[in-house]
Copies of this chain bind each other. A is one copy, B any other.
Amino acid sequence: MTGPLAALLTQPLSVITAGVDLFPEALRAQGAEVEKVHWRPPAFGEPAELSALAADPRRVAANRTATERILAAGAELVAVRPAADALGIARELFLHAGPPIEFDDVSGPLRGALIGAALFEGLAADPDEAQRLLETGRIRLEPCHHHRAVGPMAGVTTASMWVSELHDPINGGTAFCSLNEGLGKVLRYGAYSAEVIERLRWMVEVLGPALAAALARSGPIDIKSIVAQMLQMGDEGHNRNRAGSLMFLRDLAPAIAESGGSATQVVEVLRFLGGNEHFFLNYGMPAAKLAMDAARDLPGSSVVVAMARNGTDFGIQTAGTGDSWFTAPADIPEGLFLGGYGPEDANPDIGDSAIMETLGVGGFSMAAAPAIVRFVGGTVPDALATTRQMYAITVTENPTYTIPVQEFRGAPTGIDVLSVARTGILPQINTGMAGRVAGTGQVGAGLVKPPQECFENALRALAHATRA
């Protein structure tokens, strides 16, 4: 025997073991040197699927390309205009959050929001008529995600509403999002009372035009830069948007003041923006959408490009599987409740806002926002540990979105379906909680994870794509 193998046998040998302690103990008892390796079997997935995906020679390079595009993506707010113009949608087409859904299957908050939108659009005179139009399919439903858009909670976006248009100057993408209504009794949480509809009208008549005029005067606003800064200022960009909303107000306030609106309207708009700590969420979300859309359609990549919930199902999409959704029934978040509400009042997980976690902020960057635990529950050490854990299921770290308390380590970025299957660690999402009953509004905020089944289904499809 010659060569490396022969050399091996002339040196002292040691044994590497993994798994149960029985083997290393037996070996040690016989005087052998034993090195224990920490290894656990994959948490889920068929062995054939796991090995097919792991062995796919395209995977590493495709995942690298996916995350390079995600990290490089820019996000500039370039326009605010009616959804009819921006998205080219007819009045009878209502967009909603999450994967596709039939009206028969919608949960309370999405039903409430759809009813409210029908009233707001003047398609129905009352909730009963709205319900009939929705049941008979006279009003059609499609996901925001199918129109390059995202919407928080119910995410209902209709032709008359004004939306923001964001542009990615690096990858060339475009994304849209509605304007944020504030908290409490609002359409996106399923409320549709008169005050909700009245606020939506004011947003069309005053807020949208004021923002559009101000933006035309100020020029594009760099949303990516604000997201980067908010992570230095105690926001995680999903359930804490305080600093982000303040920076947005700062950037646009002078242009709002000089944009030619009446003094009363200028004051109204400044008050509305100043009074809404979540206004920036609706800019962070399309910024995240731009980054994740840049990674779509990369055969061989196992990176998640969308996580979204319609209040009934949770759906994910991956870079390697085109427009397919991998869905499973959504869980109910655990967290803190407003006023007299409790767990029995909460609807299952809803909204496109999990696009923030898909990008690596929100729940993934909780360590940047320890004060978030006062809003979503849990402890500060939990928040720090959650971010550390997310590195185990992501491909890379974001050098622009950094977390000060982690000595400026970049946010964990690029969820890898294979890593989720191997570790059994599911993505952590911070989220608002809508009332289960249509018309209620927000009942709390909390923490939730996607059902493992979404990842099992995605794994199967990715494995199948390698064999194709």
Interface residues of chain A, those whose CB is within 8 Å of chain B, are: 232-235, 242-243, 246-247, 249-251, 253-254, 257-258, 263, 266-267, 270-271, 274, 370-371, 379-381, 384, 404-408
Residue of B nearest to A370 (CB): B404
A227 to chain B, nearest CB (A): 14
From the candidates B246, B253, B370, B384, name the one contacting A247 in the complex (CB within 8 A). B246
The 10 closest A-B pairs by CB, nearest first: A246-B246, A370-B404, A250-B274, A371-B404, A233-B234, A232-B371, A254-B270, A380-B407, A254-B267, A254-B271
- Chain B residues within an 8 Å CB radius of A242: 233, 243
Other 12 A-B pairs with CB < 8 A, given A233-B233, A380-B406: A233-B243, A233-B371, A249-B250, A251-B274, A253-B274, A254-B270, A254-B271, A257-B257, A257-B267, A258-B267, A379-B407, A380-B408
From the candidates B233, B266, B274, B370, name the one contacting A405 in the complex (CB within 8 A). B370
A65 to chain B, nearest CB (A): 31
Question: Are A257 and B250 within 8 A (Cβ)?
Answer: no
Counted per complex, copies of this chain come to 2
From the candidates B250, B266, B274, B404, name the one contacting A234 in the complex (CB within 8 A). B404
- Chain B residues within an 8 Å CB radius of A407: 379-381
A378 to chain B, nearest CB (A): 11
A34 to chain B, nearest CB (A): 36
21 A-B pairs whose Cβ atoms sit less than 8 Å apart in the complex: A233-B233, A233-B235, A234-B243, A234-B404, A242-B243, A246-B250, A249-B250, A251-B274, A253-B253, A253-B270, A254-B267, A254-B270, A254-B274, A257-B257, A257-B266, A257-B267, A258-B266, A258-B267, A380-B405, A380-B406, A380-B407
Residue of B nearest to A235 (CB): B233
A435 to chain B, nearest CB (A): 28
Q: Which of A233, A251, A263, A370: most chain B Cβ within 10 A?
A: A233
**How far does the alpha carbon of A380 sit from the alpha carbon of B234 in the complex, in Å?**
15
A313 to chain B, nearest CB (A): 35
Residue of B nearest to A245 (CB): B250
**How far does the alpha carbon of A274 sit from the alpha carbon of B273 in the complex, in Å?**
15
**How far does the alpha carbon of A380 sit from the alpha carbon of B242 in the complex, in Å?**
23
- Chain B residues within an 8 Å CB radius of A405: 370, 380, 384, 405
- Chain B residues within an 8 Å CB radius of A246: 243, 246-247, 249-250
A257 in contact with B251 given A371-B404, A380-B405 (CB within 8 Å): no
Residue of B nearest to A232 (CB): B371
- Chain B residues within an 8 Å CB radius of A250: 246, 249, 274
A182 to chain B, nearest CB (A): 14
- Chain B residues within an 8 Å CB radius of A271: 254
- Chain B residues within an 8 Å CB radius of A384: 405
A269 to chain B, nearest CB (A): 9
- Chain B residues within an 8 Å CB radius of A233: 233-235, 242-243, 371
- Chain B residues within an 8 Å CB radius of A270: 253-254, 257
Residue of B nearest to A369 (CB): B404
**How far does the alpha carbon of A233 sit from the alpha carbon of B270 in the complex, in Å?**
21
